Amino acid sequence: MSESVLTAVAWPYANGPRHIGHVSGFGVPSDVFSRYQRMVGNRVLMVSGTDEHGTPIQVQADAEGTTPRELVDRYSRVIQDDLVGLGLSYDLFTRTSTDNHHRVTQELFTALWRNGYVLPETTLGAISPSTGRTLPDRYIEGICPICNYPQARGDQCDNCGNQLDPADLGEPRSRINGETPEFRETEQLMLDLPAFSQSLHRWLDTRTQWRPNVLNFSRNLIDDLRPRAISRDIDWGVRIPLDGWRDAPMKRFYVWFDAVIGYLSASVEWAERSGDKDAWKQWWHDPEASAYYFMGKDNITFHSVMWPAILLGNNGAGDRGGSPGELGTLNLPTEVVSSEFLTMSGSKFSTSRGTVIYVGDFLREFGPDALRYFIAVAGPENQDTDFTWEEFVRRTNFELANEWGNLVNRSVSMAAKNVGSVPEPTRPEPADAELLAQSRAAFSTVGAHLGHSRFKQAIGEAMRVVGAANAYLSHEEPWKRKDDPERRDTILHTALQVVQDANTLLTPFLPHAAQKVHEALGGTGVWAAQPHREDAGETGMGTTHSVLTGDYAGEQARWESTPIPVGRPLSRPTPLFAKLDTALGETGPSWAPIKPGE
């Protein structure tokens, strides 16, 4: 039976191009998952967009001498280029700076407010004495009041991990110009998180299928909840729909609050664009629908605690009760799928330290599927993982090119040269049936892994079929059977059938190569649809708006073994994957920022 599956993908912050650490956390895993779910016939809605508000955007715009609007217009396009280049099959990739997003954020807030889950509170806000402007928390540095770490940030101490208030820092100073900030009283809105501790615990008790580290981490967070600010003194963001706040020049929602609401607002925008404005409800209202959230581990808090609390508050289902808001009773996450970090020389990718490999540079040199393969097979699924050029070159050459590319190439070439079409299997032997049974059985094992976001195990099982097919060819040696064409053709037919099966199994991981293999096997039409950029008109805020979308519902690859038609014409294929120069493994490409040993 067809199920409704929401794939909610973390929103990249619109302050620069993406690096390969970002896309290994949220991008490639969510796309592999969505492509698999579509192939088994589920109704998938995969949504995300660029996160465009908040103080870091404003500070960066100041530094570049431009406006926040110009900055996010530029980087939302750059990020779209990265994601479309990787072939990430978003149903909608939009932006938070649209009218629609602002409206949905305000509606959700209104429900929280009416149900009594938002508390006004007078706090101390930092002001820069030289400019008179609000100084954002993360641009204040000082001594941690808990562990005495000298470089704690205003919002959090990176040493002890505690959330902080900038007014509590010892010897506070501006990270922008070093001056001492002034603190003045200012009113903010707080989400009353302690009022969700019972309901969040009850909900987490039902999340038995989560990865244990995510579940335990989330439980610990709930035991220590404090009210959290959802407003800021800033003039770039979503306005607060309350009397006295609505027109205030320096009051907006805190960027974390509006960003998590993006999953919902993007679903609403997708529905409006589809021509059925209520279509989003099948993913958000139907209790049978499921919702999978993909992100890096630094974002777990927002998806396993904050966003569920907002949803419970909207639904009137927090510890204080209430009634559902305008948008109705909304589904909570089915699962929070988080990745660990991709590192380089043991450290997180860091733009400021220059240890960074940008997606755009990578794609220009190596194309999308080599990166997708590397992330799936060697990425940070369960632990922090170091990226090295040596391993990238080794995986590309020995696994993609030698194992998979070579299997496709020699099977199709031999059949094309000797027969010119898919040959007929007239002389079967037990070895053929054994290999075919193995490749058919892989659909359920690989599928089970993919359904549980176990990508490494899934691609490992798929590549095992490729390995078995190569061993079969080496053993059966069809190239030595000139005098026995019936047996030779049977072997080639078996090999082509297994190439087709393996190609189906690898389609979620390698959609670009899968389309080429489909064509090499004589297939026509779209096998694995790709996203494209589309002009979506106005944002409603005085700027034009483009989105990523695609048609993934047409006649395409299905998750099943289908018989390859005997007699279908074949021609000699072009190689699937180019082998890389092994010297690249020692030095990296010329544009790579850090060389091994530096």
Query: Binding site for Zn(2+): which residues?
Result: 144, 147, 157, 160
DSSP string, 152-194: EESSB-TTT--B--GGGSEEEEETTT-PPPEEEEEEEEEE-GG
Q: What angle do CA 58, 62, 64 make, to 5 degrees?
A: 115
If the CB atoms of residues 146 and 468 are measured against Zn ion, the closer one turns out to be 146
Cα 134 to chain centroid distance, Å, stands at 33
CB 385 within 8 A of CB 379: yes
SS3 at position 114: helix
Residues annotated within the binding site for ATP are 351
What lies within 8 Å, CB to CB, of 248 at 6+ separation is 240
| Candidates 16-24, 137-145, 453-461, 482-490; binding stretch for Zn ion (CB under 5 A) | 137-145
Figure out which of the listed residues 42, 123, 156, 159 binds Zn ion, where binding follows CB under 5 A.
159
Least CB distance to Zn ion at residue 155 (A): 12
| Candidates 18-26, 130-138, 158-166, 526-534; binding stretch for Zn ion (CB under 5 A) | 158-166
Residue in the block written with tokens 């927002």:
302
Least CB distance to Zn ion at residue 142 (A): 11
Least CB distance to Zn ion at residue 302 (A): 21
If the CB atoms of residues 42 and 159 are measured against Zn ion, the closer one turns out to be 159
Least CB distance to Zn ion at residue 29 (A): 32
Residues annotated within the binding site are 144, 147, 157, 160, 351
What whole-number distance in Å separates Cα of residue 509 and Cα of residue 449?
13
473 CB neighbour count, 10 Å cutoff: 22
Q: What mask, x for binding Zn ion by CB under 5 A, covers residues 138 to 157? A: ------x-xx-x-------x
Q: What mask, x for binding Zn ion by CB under 5 A, covers residues 94 to 133? A: ----------------------------------------
CB 140 within 8 A of CB 169: yes
Please report whether residue 580 would count as binding Zn ion according to CB under 5 A.
no
If the CB atoms of residues 146 and 594 are measured against Zn ion, the closer one turns out to be 146
If the CB atoms of residues 169 and 465 are measured against Zn ion, the closer one turns out to be 169
Please report whether residue 160 would count as binding Zn ion according to CB under 5 A.
yes
If the CB atoms of residues 144 and 260 are measured against Zn ion, the closer one turns out to be 144
Least CB distance to Zn ion at residue 162 (A): 6
Q: What angle do CA 342, 348, 354 make, to 5 degrees?
A: 115
Nearest to 294 by CA among 85, 453, 105: 453
If the CB atoms of residues 147 and 441 are measured against Zn ion, the closer one turns out to be 147
Least CB distance to Zn ion at residue 175 (A): 17
CB 550 within 8 A of CB 532: yes
What whole-number distance in Å separates Cα of residue 56 and Cα of residue 259?
14
Residue type, 403: E
Least CB distance to Zn ion at residue 298 (A): 17
What whole-number distance in Å separates Cα of residue 477 and Cα of residue 473?
6
DSSP bridge partners of 343:
348, 386
If the CB atoms of residues 149 and 479 are measured against Zn ion, the closer one turns out to be 149
Please report whether residue 163 would count as binding Zn ion according to CB under 5 A.
no
If the CB atoms of residues 144 and 305 are measured against Zn ion, the closer one turns out to be 144
Query: Would you report the helix, strand and coil content of the chain in percent, each value rounded to 5?
Result: 45, 15, 40
Nearest to 235 by CA among 455, 58, 433, 40: 58
Q: How many angstroms separate the Cα of 81 from the Cα of each of 18, 73, 89, 508?
A: 10, 13, 13, 20
If the CB atoms of residues 221 and 526 are measured against Zn ion, the closer one turns out to be 221
What whole-number distance in Å separates Cα of residue 317 and Cα of residue 314?
8
Least CB distance to Zn ion at residue 143 (A): 9
If the CB atoms of residues 112 and 157 are measured against Zn ion, the closer one turns out to be 157
Least CB distance to Zn ion at residue 243 (A): 39
Least CB distance to Zn ion at residue 153 (A): 10
If the CB atoms of residues 143 and 526 are measured against Zn ion, the closer one turns out to be 143
Total residues at interface with Zn ion (CB under 5 A)? 7
SS3 at position 291: strand
E strands of 200-356, at which residues? Answer: 228-229, 231-233, 251-253, 290-296, 335-339, 342-344, 347-348
Least CB distance to Zn ion at residue 226 (A): 16
Buried b (16+ CB within 10 A) or exposed e, 478-500: beebeeebebbbbbbbbbbbbbb
Contacting residues toward Zn ion, per CB under 5 A: 144, 146-147, 149, 157, 159-160
